[in-house]
Structure 1
Amino acid sequence: MAVSARLPEIVVTKRKIAKPVATGVAGLDEILRGGLPPSNLYMLQGAPGAGKTTAALQFLRAGVEAGERCIYVSLSQTAAELESIAVSHGWTMDGIRVEELSASDAVNGAADQTIFQTAELRLDETRQAIEKAIEEHKPSRLVYDSLLEIRLITGDTPRFRRELIGFKAFLAKRNVVALLLDTQNGEAMNGEEVEGIAHGVIRFDKTLEDYGAVRRRIEVSKMRGVPIADGYHDMAIREGQGVVVFPRIIPGDASDVEKPELIKSGVETLDAMFGGGQESGTTTLVIGQSGTGKSTMASLYATAALKRGENVALFLFEERLETFFRRSEGLGMDLRKFHKDGALVIKDFNPNEISPGEFAQVVQSIVKTDKTRVVVIDSFTGYLNSLPQRDKAVRDIQSLLKYLARSGVLTMLIVAQHGLLGQNVGIDVDVSFLGDTVLLLRIAEHEGRLRRNITVVKKRHGPHDLFVHELMIQGSGISVVPYNPLPES
């Protein structure tokens, strides 16, 4: 009888996953899926003025708030300069040790903080001074500002690489999370290939358009072991906040609505044109030339939703807030009280001061917080016309609209047409695909007077009216006069 050999038991042990290190930069941790992997070396690249130093201070301040020891090693800025940056945002440098390094025959015997010129400093003295500061302070977080000075000191690419590798090994043994600031980027490394040394690389991009504010973007070009949200994300530098990142909207973050509900306008004849009302989780394009009643239609749906006890968000890019209130009041729609109570959220934007990414984040935040049911963007045309890359803005807004749809929100986009007769949409990119429903408003001459016409051109979900009706906008309210064809003789 053969005896079978017993196989050795395989014991699988689960490795404990270390908690990510918060960067202190709003929005960046979301891109990094929680933060930076601990005990590693990272590079933060960007041109002068891109926001590297500000983000570095936020990184260290987050460490101080977590009870960690932090050190800022500066070869390019003085402690006074760093202090002024912090003060400009209302911050303090409390808990952050600043170690200034520079050329001197007695660097090793200098005081904790000295001011010299880095151009004359020998590389070995720099290394010894940094290592001494780390051994004395035993930080959990470190910022090294900047690699440009080390390049100038070494003057030799292989030596520069060896220096970084040695520094990385030194920090790894002491479980330090280090952020190295660099003014160069991946396209200007001249064969250095130092990005491969770092565990992760974050790039700040700064561009100046022909008109308007500076556009800032961020890209996490490399992060080992982390499923990052790659590609560019909009960012800004705000007083009191520092660097703020606006991650791109991912429509899958919201859950699909199981059963759409009909959202009514409060005008029976108008609702009948849509087969009983508009569906939640859809987007309606309201298209027409000036004076046709586009914004009035948006106010009508907003008022009806508010009266039902639902929350509404309105984003203005052209009309002033007071003008909006007065126009609505002239038609019997008192929206001030809802705005005062918080049920109606209104954001009045200067389109030249907001990026597509920031706008999407503002909308998403309001919808999540207030459980908004109706969102109005007035006007989408003005928003697009303020952006240098309107085709990209359409892609960004498409992701936002998908998110809103999956959140069960009815979104109304106001789209203007050219001229009094409005033969063409006032933008040079196709936006018709964005709408599940298209409501067309026109002005036409009829029996010696101007007449507003209203037509449902498109409705993806369910039947809709195909007739052209008259839209009446009066002080007593809004009404739709049904199409009444003349009887055949």
Structure 2
Amino acid sequence: MDVVTRKKQSVVKTGIAGLDEILRGGLPSSNFYILQGAPGSGKTTAALQFLLAGVDAGERCLYVSLSQTAAELESIAISHGWSLKGIRVEELSASDAVNGASDQTIFQTTELRLDETRKAVEQAVEDHKPHRLVYDSLLEIRLITGDSPRFRRELLGFKSFLAQRQVVALLLDTQTNGSIERSGEEVEGIAHGVIRFDKSLEEYGGVRRRVEVSKMRGVPVADGYHDMAIREGEGVIIYPRIIPGAASETVKPQLIKSGVTALDEMFGGGQESGTTTLVIGQSGTGKSTMSSLYATAALKRGESVALFLFEERLETFFRRSEGLGMDLRQFHKDGQLIIRDFNPNEISPGEFGKIAQEVVTREKSRVVVIDSFTGYLNSLPHREKAVRDIQSLLKYLARSGVLTMLIVAQHGLLGQNVGIDVDVSFLGDTVLLLRISEHEGKLRRSITVVKKRHGPHDLDVRELLIESSGVTVVAYNPLPEA
């Protein structure tokens, strides 16, 4: 069997990398697990991944289905490019199981249906002697038994039967509106572990999916909800919440320069690695230009840079940068500049955090730009949770020695209001405020370092000049009165 040692306890991989990470390696072997979720939440897909992982490990795998046909399972597998070769599918029916005894009575009694269904399932296990078993689903057994005590006795008996044969069993439990509350009480004390898939449809955007390991005996799981998705060709993908302490080690701080001497002087010589800078300003003040400036300087130093776009199109980014004398296309082609262009409505906070974490870990990026954080948050239904998730990501990046620049938009003529209704100011170690003002028909940009947690910084308001020749920062001299 595909076994990983966890101290004295062995585990089996689930076939879902993110879930194995949450479980600290996998499911404890030779035990009985419940996978709960509403219809369409991804239970069957995850169950097939569990069995396919067993096939890859050379194990015998059995799928006992009371609710789906073999053809339906084959269709799900084909949609992801999988083959069910190596998985034995036993297609049963709680009503058909008693056909041989139907002449005893006109109506099939509950006890008869339950007994014959149990015998059919146990016979399938005896015949195929699987290492891994998927039982789909408990809803049919719950409907047959009709009451909780009888359902519990049935589960306890089946658990004992499987334990004697050292089978790792995953039992699917389809939750309907009426069964959600009571099903938890029925199985929590019986199963070794309970995994719940959650699916919700918000007012705007796609379906939001989450997973929770509500119980797992003897395993210090990463509790709480974790974002998940179902991707064609990949199946169920789970994105564990980021743990800041998982970063390799805290990197010694270094000064990161912009390439504009006057700007670096405002920060006391430069910005520090392992910090987060909020670049705040209304439209047209030069927020994205600031991030491009630091990205260009890092790239010219030979460092890797990651840029995550949530509003601006990739071609627009390149053209804007080229208009200021910053040609970044070749860096992108060479792989030194990693750019991900997201549709905010199609990505969850957990998925974004995982992507950012993997890019920084793999490419050793020294500068990360999120443009814009405002657009990202405005696309999410639960912004407070998204802010907490991004805080964990920022702490992870800080421990990795990354300078992260968050672009935050303001609205209004003078930009008094941040364009999101949650406070994000605490996220920044440094706050760079960009403003625009009008005097006698002329617009002027100003730049100020409002906050810098580490070391001295310049509190003066300076003028920011963005021209085709590049970016410069000069002393801000008010225009004379007419």
- Give the TM-score band, short-chain normalised: over 0.9
Cα distance change, pair 300–105 in 1 and its aligned pair in 2 (3 A): closer
Match of 1:58 among 49, 54, 61: 49
Match of 1:20, SS?
Answer: strand
Q: Partners of 2:112 and 2:359 in 1: how far apart?
A: 53
Cα distance change, pair 101–120 in 1 and its aligned pair in 2 (3 A): farther
Q: Partners of 1:138 and 1:99 in 2: how far apart?
A: 13
Match of 2:418, SS?
Answer: coil
Match of 1:273 among 266, 269, 286: 266
Match of 2:424 among 421, 424, 431: 431
1:295 matched to 2:288 = yes
Q: Which residue of 1 aligns with 2:132?
A: 141
Q: Which residue of 1 aligns with 2:332?
A: 339
Match of 1:323 among 316, 325, 346: 316
Return the offset for 1:254. 1.3
Match of 2:411, SS?
Answer: coil
Q: Is the 8 A contact 2:251 2:274 kept in 1?
A: no
Code of the residue aligned with 2:113 in structure 1: it is R
Deviates further, 97-106 or 364-373: 97-106
Match of 2:365, SS?
Answer: coil
Match of 1:480, SS?
Answer: strand
Q: Partners of 1:335 and 1:394 in 2: how far apart?
A: 30
The aligned runs of 1:212-361 (5 Å cut-off) are 212-361=205-354
Code of the residue aligned with 2:280 in structure 1: it is I
Match of 1:441, SS?
Answer: strand
Q: Partners of 1:373 and 1:454 in 2: how far apart?
A: 24
Q: Is the 8 A contact 1:108 1:125 kept in 2?
A: no
Q: Which residue of 2 aligns with 1:10?
A: none
Q: Which residue of 1 aligns with 2:166?
A: 175
Match of 1:461, SS?
Answer: coil
Gapped regions of structure 1 (runs ≥ 5):
1-14, 110-116
Code of the residue aligned with 2:219 in structure 1: it is V
- CA deviation vs aligned residue, 1:414-464 (integer Å, no higher than 9, x gap): 000012321111111111110000000011124652111010000000000
Structure with more strand by fraction: 2
Match of 2:35 among 25, 33, 44: 44
Code of the residue aligned with 1:55 in structure 2: it is A
Q: Which residue of 2 aligns with 1:82?
A: 73
Q: Which residue of 1 aligns with 2:401?
A: 408
Return the offset for 1:155. 2.0
Match of 2:12, SS?
Answer: coil
Return the offset for 1:358. 0.5
Code of the residue aligned with 2:19 in structure 1: it is L
Q: Which residue of 2 aligns with 1:11?
A: none
Q: Partners of 1:415 and 1:379 in 2: how far apart?
A: 6
Q: Partners of 2:188 and 2:69 in 1: how far apart?
A: 27
Return the offset for 1:35. 0.3
Q: Partners of 2:152 and 2:476 in 1: how far apart?
A: 78
Match of 1:92, SS?
Answer: coil
Could you list the structure 1 runs, at least 4 aligned residues long, displaced by more than 6 angstroms after superposition: 105-109
Match of 1:284, SS?
Answer: strand
Match of 1:369 among 359, 362, 365: 362
Q: Which residue of 2 aligns with 1:3?
A: none
Return the offset for 1:120. 11
Code of the residue aligned with 1:85 in structure 2: it is I
Code of the residue aligned with 2:158 in structure 1: it is F
Q: Is the 8 A contact 1:165 1:197 kept in 2?
A: yes
Q: Is the 8 A contact 2:446 2:476 kept in 1?
A: no
Deviates further, 65-74 or 99-108: 99-108
Q: Partners of 1:306 and 1:144 in 2: how far apart?
A: 54
Q: Which residue of 2 aligns with 1:189?
A: 182
Cα distance change, pair 264–88 in 1 and its aligned pair in 2 (3 A): same
Q: Partners of 1:152 and 1:238 in 2: how far apart?
A: 32
Q: Which residue of 1 aligns with 2:104?
A: none
Q: Partners of 1:154 and 1:209 in 2: how far apart?
A: 35
Q: Is the 8 A contact 1:26 1:243 kept in 2?
A: no
Q: Partners of 2:198 and 2:427 in 1: how far apart?
A: 30
Match of 2:458, SS?
Answer: coil
The aligned runs of 1:103-118 (5 Å cut-off) are 103-104=95-96
Q: Is the 8 A contact 1:40 1:178 kept in 2?
A: yes
Identity %: 81
Code of the residue aligned with 1:236 in structure 2: it is A
Return the offset for 1:156. 3.1
Match of 2:85, SS?
Answer: coil
Return the offset for 1:268. 0.5
Code of the residue aligned with 1:361 in structure 2: it is K
Q: Is the 8 A contact 1:107 1:129 kept in 2?
A: no
Q: Is the 8 A contact 1:108 1:128 kept in 2?
A: no
Q: Is the 8 A contact 2:34 2:172 kept in 1?
A: yes
Return the offset for 1:106. 6.8
1:72 matched to 2:63 = yes
Return the offset for 1:18. 3.8
Superposition CA RMSD, Å: 2.1
Q: Is the 8 A contact 1:104 1:121 kept in 2?
A: no
TM-score of the pair, normalised by structure 2: 0.93
